[in-house]
Amino acid sequence: MVRLKNRYLLVEILYPEPSSWPRSTTTTQKPTQQTQPETHLQIHSPTSNILTPGLLAKMVLDQVADIYGDWGVGRLGGRSGVS
């Protein structure tokens, strides 16, 4: 008997602009309570509308093709999806 196994990959995408990254502090300076929430909001900003589920699935499929070639794309078999 053959069993079909479904595998899931959970990914969190963080892509802040480099200009919004917090400046590094020296060892003598300690970050204040006010900078920590601002930093968190900059790194965890909402996703832009340009990134759609279809585009993300295509990007993953393209990377699988680059890394694993036709074999990797064949193993996916069109079963990849984003939800």
Q: What are 6-35's pLDDT values in tens digits?
A: 777 777 776 666 666 666 555 555 555 556
Confidence class for position 66, pLDDT limits 50, 70, 90: very high
- What is the predicted pLDDT for the residue at 18? 62
Does the global pTM surpass 0.75?
no
> Nearest to residue 11, comparing CAs of 42, 41, 38, 51?
51
pLDDT confidence bin for 45, thresholds 50/70/90: low
Query: Which among 79, 73, 66, 54 has a CA at the least distance from the CA of 4?
Result: 79
